[in-house]
């Protein structure tokens, strides 16, 4: 499968941060096909904290039946966070990339510099350095009571204007007859130079397997039989 780097287009970047229960797949502009889960950290002030964008993390997407990976570099994540603030988009939010909502505001936004020393660690989050983290205040009472506290909405998902730049046409995929353990061993070996940090390398290799499983489930739910069949064959090592 192809791997694309996403870069900021027309100086806009992230226009809104959506509150979602499951990842959304959009055709024209970016509605990320991966949710980064947040945590409710202050019920009195109705605050949620979590990752908005994680750098160098392969994310599986599907458009028009074509499956491919995207990722954001650390520089792009940092610039997106800056432009989000500069362009005054802190109150731009919606539910499931569809329903605009009022009473939701980003009150804190920063780039994680150290996993252990970052404030997110106090809430049990272990975010990769370079991650864009944020705190949102949910002033909308109905949204907080019926969707945040109940766990129906569980994560952040960005919307914005980005362009795709082809990075490579080949990613490490499981071979026919290769089980997950053997694949992980091979992936860890082949990516040793690109990802010297073992934990980061393990996360990348795990993503290749888990993203494909997620895509199959999501595409089946969407009724995209052709794409779902493609992933079913991939997961059963028939291709």
Tens digits of per-residue pLDDT, 90-123?
999 988 888 888 999 999 999 999 999 999 898 8
pLDDT of residue 168: 59
Q: How many CA atoms lie within 13 A of 113 on its CB side?
A: 2
> Could you say which residues of the chain have pLDDT below 50?
23-34, 212, 214-239
- By CB atoms closer than 10 A (0-12, 13-18, 19+), residue 166 is exposed
- Amino acid 238: pLDDT: 36
Contact 53, 80 (CB under 8 A): yes
User: Which residues of 21-154 form beta strands (DSSP E)?
Assistant: 30-31, 36-42, 47-53, 59-63, 66-71, 93-95, 99-100, 104-111, 132-138
Predicted confidence at residue 209, as pLDDT, reads 64
Measured CA distances, 97 to 4, 20, 26, 120 (Å):
22, 8, 9, 25
pLDDT attached to residue 21: 75
The answer to pTM > 0.95 is: no
Q: What is the token pair recorded at 186?
A: 């091979």
Instruction: Provide the 3-class DSSP secondary structure of residue 103.
Output: coil
Q: Residue 9 is inside which H or E element, if any? A: strand 2-20
Domain ranges in the chain are 2-167, 172-235
């Amino acid at each position: 499968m192809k791997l694309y780097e996403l870069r900021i287009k027309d100086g806009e970047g992230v226009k809104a941060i959506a509150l979602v229960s499951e990842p959304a797949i959009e055709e024209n502009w970016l509605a990320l096909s991966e949710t980064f889960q947040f945590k409710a950290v202050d019920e009195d002030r109705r605050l949620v904290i979590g990752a908005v964008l994680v750098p160098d993390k392969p994310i599986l997407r599907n458009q028009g039946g074509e499956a491919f990976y995207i990722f954001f570099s650390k520089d792009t994540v940092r610039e997106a966070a800056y432009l989000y603030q500069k362009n005054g988009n802190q109150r731009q939010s919606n539910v499931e990339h569809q329903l605009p909502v009022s009473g939701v505001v980003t009150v804190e936004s920063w780039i994680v510099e150290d996993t252990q020393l970052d404030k997110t660690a106090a809430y049990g989050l272990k975010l990769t350095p370079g991650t864009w983290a944020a705190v949102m205040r949910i002033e909308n009472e109905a949204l907080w009571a019926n969707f945040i506290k109940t766990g129906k909405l569980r994560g952040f998902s960005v919307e914005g204007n980005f362009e795709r730049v082809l990075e490579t046409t080949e990613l490490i995929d499981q071979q026919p007859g290769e089980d997950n353990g053997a694949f992980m061993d091979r992936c860890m070996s082949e990516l040793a130079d690109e990802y010297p940090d073992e934990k980061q390398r393990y996360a990348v290799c795990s993503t290749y397997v888990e993203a494909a499983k997620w895509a199959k489930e999501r595409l089946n739910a969407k009724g995209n039989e052709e794409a779902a069949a493609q992933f079913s064959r991939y997961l059963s090592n028939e291709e």
